[in-house]
Amino acid sequence: MSDVAEPQETVELKIGEESYSLPVITGSYQEKGIDISKLLKTTGHVTFDEGFKNTGSTTSSITFIDGIKGILEHRGYPIEQLADHSSFTEVMFLLLNTELPSATELSHFEQKLKDNATPPVGLRAILDSLPREAHPMSMIGTIISALPGFYPESVDSWKNEDIRWNTIYRLLGHMPAMVAYVYRRRQGLAYIDPDPSLGYVENFLHMMYGEVNAEVAEALDTLLVLHADHEQNCSAATVRMAGSSHVNLFAAIAAGNSALWGPLHGGANQKVIEMLEAIREDGGDTQKYIDKAKDKEDPFRLMGFGHRVYKNFDPRAKVIKMYTDKVLDALNIDDPVLDIAKGLEKEAIADPYFSSRKLFPNVDFYSGIIYRALGIPVPMFTVMFALGRLPGWIAQWKELRESGQAIGRPRQIYTGYTKRDYTPMEDRS
């Protein structure tokens, strides 16, 4: 692991007749970032980058992405190797602690999660007070937000290391039961208690369905590994932004979870299945929908296509595509939307509109098909994403805490009215 080197290089910025020297910071893979943090003080200018498309908001040693080459690494380990060899709990440990665990460390870590597998019973009452048809993301968001109420000491999770780790174990430990509670509340089924003899993912399936299928558990474990972190995406950046005010871990994660809900982020997996179903019901004419996606007058977009960072392929999508066939075979499921998905992918990739804009299937394009095969209802998909992304969010929050970064506070370019006098009601037209 290498920290950011002392700036050796500078770039010159010329504003009018004045020249300013800006340091260039260099990452582990020689990525370069121009440090503009002192620009306002020295030049009176802010930088402008709507949507933070080109702004590094932090240094980080958790996850590396090269969107052009399709590389995703956690703490240096390629995602393909982690998907093949690691378990979800091992990846959690890696994200939080920088190194892969020894056997003893892993079993200690997993025991901590088991010790915290049962959430406060009051969460069930909160869920019971919500309408059964409430969106699962609203349900999970509500009970994550409620956790500081049950663990008041967690407000010190920013300050105190023991409380910090207890809060981390609690959240990771509780999350499978919380997701299962949401599912069962919506299905109108009785809640199931965790079984301490089972591993993390098996226990989740036990609390969801009351039974565990080993092949399903294996596939789900891999799917969760593939979702575990993705550096400074919308939800992780939200966790960091909220966390930078020194808010407790639960509250910061609740903020990130809300950001995940949107259809342009974690909500996309739900939208993909809805889109594939709609195409099927409309006769399966994939070309018609390709044409709609290309039509700038039509708001329709191909859900599950395109990515802010990956511009050639999403390495997670490659692994998931392989798993989709494996899971459907193992469970003996013939899902007609899979054929539509494959047809859509083939036609889109061959179409210059998509290739010229570097639009390829992202992680969500196939994950929904697997979730469906696992018996997870479509509105629950984004909650499943949250279950997978939780360790990444926590690692981002923890890193922020340990780096002592300042509170997040972007600037703006104001484009509204300049100063004007108050208009009395009778003078307004």
> Mind telling me the catalytic residues?
307, 364
Beta-bridge partner residues of 323? none
Nearer to ligand ACO, 22 or 386 (CB): 386
Chain residues that interact with ligand ACO, rule: CB under 6 A: 264-265, 268, 293, 301-308, 357, 359, 362-364
Please give the Cα distance from 373 to 331 (Å, whole number): 8
Please give the Cα distance from 252 to 2 (Å, whole number): 28
Cα separation values, 17 from 20, 381, 411, Å: 10, 55, 25
Cα separation values, 134 from 122, 140, 274, Å: 18, 10, 18
The helix/strand/coil state of 133 is coil
Nearer to ligand ACO, 301 or 318 (CB): 301
Please give the Cα distance from 301 to 313 (Å, whole number): 18
Q: How far apart are the first and last CA of the chain?
A: 65
Nearer to ligand ACO, 132 or 346 (CB): 346
Tell me the residue nearest to ligand ACO as measured from the CB: 306
Nearer to ligand ACO, 184 or 389 (CB): 389
The rounded Cα 309 to chain-centroid distance in angstroms is: 14
**What's the min distance (Å) between Cβ of 38 and ligand ACO?**
29
DSSP state of 118: S
Nearer to ligand ACO, 201 or 359 (CB): 359
Nearer to ligand ACO, 123 or 179 (CB): 179
406 contacts 169 by C-beta, under 8 angstroms: no
**What's the min distance (Å) between Cβ of 303 and ligand ACO?**
5
Nearer to ligand ACO, 307 or 372 (CB): 307
Please give the Cα distance from 107 to 59 (Å, whole number): 31
**What's the min distance (Å) between Cβ of 59 and ligand ACO?**
23
**What's the min distance (Å) between Cβ of 293 and ligand ACO?**
4
Nearer to ligand ACO, 303 or 327 (CB): 303
**What's the min distance (Å) between Cβ of 301 and ligand ACO?**
4
393 contacts 253 by C-beta, under 8 angstroms: yes
**What's the min distance (Å) between Cβ of 396 and ligand ACO?**
15
Nearer to ligand ACO, 124 or 265 (CB): 265
List, in sequence order, the alpha helices (H) in 282-362: 286-294, 315-330, 336-350, 352-356
| Residue type at 378 in one-letter notation | V
**What's the min distance (Å) between Cβ of 359 and ligand ACO?**
5
Please give the Cα distance from 274 to 241 (Å, whole number): 32
**What's the min distance (Å) between Cβ of 11 and ligand ACO?**
25
| Nearby residues of 279 by Cβ (< 8 Å), 6 or more positions away | 285, 286, 288, 289, 340, 344
Six-digit token pair at 144?
Answer: 């994550």
Q: Could you give phi then psi for residue 104, rounded to 5 degrees?
A: -65, -45
**What's the min distance (Å) between Cβ of 260 and ligand ACO?**
8
CA-nearest of 364, 381, 397 to 254 is 397
243 contacts 254 by C-beta, under 8 angstroms: no
- For residues 139, 140, 143, 144, the Cα torsion angle rounded to the nearest 10 degrees is -150
Please give the Cα distance from 192 to 56 (Å, whole number): 44
Cα separation values, 207 from 23, 174, 176, 404, Å: 53, 12, 8, 39
